[in-house]
């Protein structure tokens, strides 16, 4: 029993100290803004200043698109989701295709950006 408790505490400790990657900054726009402002003086954890700037620019552009035309933004999310579903079906039936896997990964990354902006601007939590 004690062994299991020790293992749980070790796992919790390791996950608490994990790097703050793109997903973290995508989910926490206020932290992203602070990282962008303090970037030249203080290197953010997990990403370079250039990566932080690119993420901020990408999310800012998407936020502008959402505010400009919410319906078109939602349609874009649906289109990306449909594309991912078709690609995964094609991958399942077609076998190993590294180009298709890369395309799926890129589309999932884009979808995560779109959904992060929706959560940031349209969620009651924000």
Q: What is the pLDDT of residues 27-72, one digit of tens each?
A: 888 888 888 888 888 877 778 889 889 989 999 999 999 999 999 9
Give the pLDDT confidence score for residue 109 in this predicted structure.
94
pLDDT band at 121; cut points 50, 70, 90: confident
What is the distance of C-alpha 113 from the center of its chain? 5
SS3 119: helix
What does 69-95 look like in DSSP terms, one character per residue? -HHHHHHHHHHHHHHHHHHHHHHHHH-
| Mean pLDDT computed over 98-104 | 93
Q: What's the number of CA atoms in the CB half-sphere (13 Å) around residue 105?
A: 6
pLDDT band at 3; cut points 50, 70, 90: low
User: How many other CB atoms are found less than 10 A from the CB of residue 10?
Assistant: 10
- On the question of pLDDT at 1 being above 70, the answer is no
Give the pLDDT confidence score for residue 16 in this predicted structure.
45
Give the pLDDT confidence score for residue 95 in this predicted structure.
77
What is the distance of C-alpha 36 from the center of its chain? 17
Please report, for the chain, the start and end positions of each structural domain, with discontinuous segments joined by +: 22-122
- Asked whether the beta carbons of 49 and 40 are under 8 A apart, the reply is yes
pTM recorded for the entire structure: 0.74
Q: Which contacts (CB < 8 Å, 24+ apart) does range 21-28 have? A: 21/46, 21/47, 22/46, 22/47, 22/51, 22/55, 23/112, 25/52, 25/55, 26/55, 26/59, 26/112, 26/113, 26/116, 27/116, 27/119
pLDDT band at 78; cut points 50, 70, 90: very high
């Amino acid at each position: 029993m004690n062994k299991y408790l020790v293992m749980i505490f070790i796992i919790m400790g390791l996950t608490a100290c994990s790097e703050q990657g793109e997903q973290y900054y995508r989910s926490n726009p206020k932290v992203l803004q602070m990282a962008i402002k303090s970037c030249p003086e203080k290197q953010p954890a997990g990403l370079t200043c250039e990566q932080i700037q690119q993420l901020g620019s990408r999310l800012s552009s998407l936020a502008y698109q959402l505010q400009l035309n919410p319906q078109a933004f939602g349609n874009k999310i649906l289109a990306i989701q449909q594309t991912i579903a078709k690609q995964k079906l094609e991958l399942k039936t077609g076998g190993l295709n590294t180009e298709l896997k890369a395309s799926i990964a890129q589309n999932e990354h884009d979808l995560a950006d779109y959904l992060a902006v929706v959560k940031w601007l349209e969620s009651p939590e924000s």
